[in-house]
């Protein structure tokens, strides 16, 4: 997940509330070319509205890799950088004003840890669009100064509004990626009213795509996966797809012209989206959650004649993210993950570049205790 620099608090106005500090173990990057390595950081002691969480698992998002290597000009990295915004753990302490969490509760934290709370977006539960949001890492820290540190650590303290409840029936390692990959795909499916009987296409079957298939299937849609690889057919069916289309085959694509209610494009590599636009029925929508380096070339005629539309989407607000977690609990949905110790995080980054994972990495943070 990426936010343009102008949407993030540009100055770290340190909170007037006084905070003690404690030490936490972590893995950090010292520069764009250095590997992640063990370190010790300072965390604030919980304030009145804070929740302290012992982190049990943290998912690895492709955004982590981009941020660690300072590959996003819209959001320059401040070092040391401690990534991680797919956090699941157990509450260890709460502030005096916290009423919805208690020590021992399972809890989760996603991409946001604060917002201004007063803008129109925050007032309507869309904190992800707040012009003064605070990201979980590499964002100005309004409490301690400097920048925020993410989930590659054994503990975190977060304002209670930005902490989520985790259904107790779910595997925690698989829950972690739901906090980014999960909500990134769930939110547009809900926004565009994907329900029983709708025909939905999912472009790409990676970390985002596999979650989109699971959600669309659980919502009752007829799910078609578009992929360039014939080898992914069996996997797509196991995830809940009704049909698989090899997007490089014009004959297969032609069979679906003007038939989709909604298509979710999860691919970040450069590709021709016009071939998918023509598959939308009247008033159909294609939503992008992948962001190629170069802008897409879009044919206006493909949109005009069937009143089709293209949109983009990031994560959801806090209420919708909690809705997503509850939905996952009801339908027993988690991400498909490979669990690794934190000592293998650099190897995992290299493997991500080769798409050598099904479908997300989840770090077992108990491994940090040995550092």
The secondary structure of 13-55 as a DSSP string is: ---SS---EEEEEEEEBSSTTSPPEEEEEEEEPP-TTEEEEEE
My answer on whether 192 and 304 are in the same domain is: yes
My answer on whether 256 and 142 are in the same domain is: no
CA gap 324, 316 in Å, rounded: 9
My answer on whether 271 and 347 are in the same domain is: no
Number of H helices, E strands in the chain: 11, 17
My answer on whether 190 and 162 are in the same domain is: no
Two tokens, residue 142: 């309004």
For the chain, the domain total comes to: 2
My answer on whether 171 and 320 are in the same domain is: yes
Distances (CA, A) of 84 to 158, 197, 328: 14, 36, 21
What is the tens place of the pLDDT at every residue in 254-293?
999 999 999 999 998 889 999 999 999 999 999 999 877 7
| Structure confidence at residue 13 (pLDDT) | 44
CA angle centred on 51, ends 45 and 53, rounded to 5°? 90
Q: What is the domain-level CATH number for residue 233?
A: 3.40.50.720
My answer on whether 83 and 118 are in the same domain is: yes
Q: What is the domain-level CATH number for residue 321?
A: 3.90.180.10
Cis-peptide, bond into residue 359, ω within 30° of zero: yes
Residue 90 DSSP code? E
Short-list 112, 107, 110, 130, CA closest to 120: 130
CB 13 within 8 A of CB 139: no
Parent domain of 60: 5-179+316-370
CB 137 within 8 A of CB 156: no
What is the tens place of the pLDDT at every residue in 216-243?
999 999 999 999 988 999 999 999 999 9
Two tokens, residue 61: 């998002």
| Structure confidence at residue 46 (pLDDT) | 97
Element (H, E) at 340: strand 337-341
My answer on whether 300 and 210 are in the same domain is: yes
My answer on whether 302 and 328 are in the same domain is: no
CB 145 within 8 A of CB 78: no
CB 362 within 8 A of CB 339: yes
Boundary-marking domain end, from 312, 336, 356: 312
pTM (two decimals)? 0.94
My answer on whether 171 and 189 are in the same domain is: no
CA gap 323, 312 in Å, rounded: 21
CA gap 333, 327 in Å, rounded: 8
My answer on whether 118 and 86 are in the same domain is: yes
Two tokens, residue 86: 């797919």
Boundary-marking domain end, from 265, 289, 312: 312
CA gap 289, 344 in Å, rounded: 28
State which residues of the chain have pLDDT below 70: 1-19
Pairing, β 280-288 against β 309-312: parallel
Boundary-marking domain end, from 266, 297, 312: 312
My answer on whether 89 and 146 are in the same domain is: yes
| Structure confidence at residue 2 (pLDDT) | 54
My answer on whether 217 and 320 are in the same domain is: no
Distance of CA 240 to the CA centre of its chain: 21
Residue 311 φ then ψ, to 5°: -145, 170
Residue 292 DSSP code? -
């Amino acid at each position: 997940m990426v936010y343009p620099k102008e949407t993030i608090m540009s100055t770290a106005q340190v909170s007037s509330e006084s905070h003690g500090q404690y030490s936490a173990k972590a893995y950090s990057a010292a520069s764009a070319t250095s590997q992640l390595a063990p370190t010790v950081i300072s965390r604030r002691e919980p304030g009145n509205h804070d929740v302290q969480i012992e982190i049990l698992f943290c998912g690895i998002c492709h955004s982590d890799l981009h941020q660690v290597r300072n590959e996003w000009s819209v959001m320059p990295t401040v070092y040391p950088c401690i990534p991680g915004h797919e956090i699941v753990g157990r509450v260890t302490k709460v502030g005096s004003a916290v009423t919805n969490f208690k020590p021992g509760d399972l809890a989760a934290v996603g991409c946001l840890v604060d917002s201004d709370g007063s803008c129109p977006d925050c007032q309507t539960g869309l904190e992800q669009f707040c012009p003064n949001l605070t990201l979980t890492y590499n964002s100005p820290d309004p409490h301690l100064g400097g920048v925020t540190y993410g989930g590659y650590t054994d503990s975190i303290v977060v304002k209670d509004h930005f902490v989520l409840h985790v259904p107790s029936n779910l595997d925690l390692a698989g829950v972690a990626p739901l906090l980014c990959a999960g909500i990134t795909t769930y939110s547009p499916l809900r926004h565009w009213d994907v329900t029983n009987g709708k025909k939905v296409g999912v472009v790409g079957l990676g970390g985002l795509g596999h979650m989109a298939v699971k959600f669309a299937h659980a919502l009752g849609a007829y799910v078609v996966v578009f992929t360039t690889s014939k080898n992914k057919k069996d996997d797509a069916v196991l995830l809940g797809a009704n049909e698989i289309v090899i997007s490089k085959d014009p004959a297969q694509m032609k069979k679906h012209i003007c038939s989709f209610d909604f298509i979710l494009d999860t691919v970040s590599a450069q590709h021709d989206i016009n071939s998918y636009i023509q598959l939308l029925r009247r008033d159909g929508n294609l939503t992008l959650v992948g962001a190629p380096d170069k802008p897409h070339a879009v044919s206006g005629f493909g949109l005009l004649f069937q009143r089709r539309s293209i949109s983009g989407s990031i994560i959801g607000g806090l209420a919708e993210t909690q809705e997503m977690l509850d939905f996952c609990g009801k339908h027993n949905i988690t991400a498909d993950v490979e669990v690794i110790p934190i000592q293998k995080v650099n190897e995992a980054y290299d493997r991500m570049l080769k798409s050598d994972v099904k479908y997300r990495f989840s770090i077992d943070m108990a491994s940090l205790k040995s550092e």
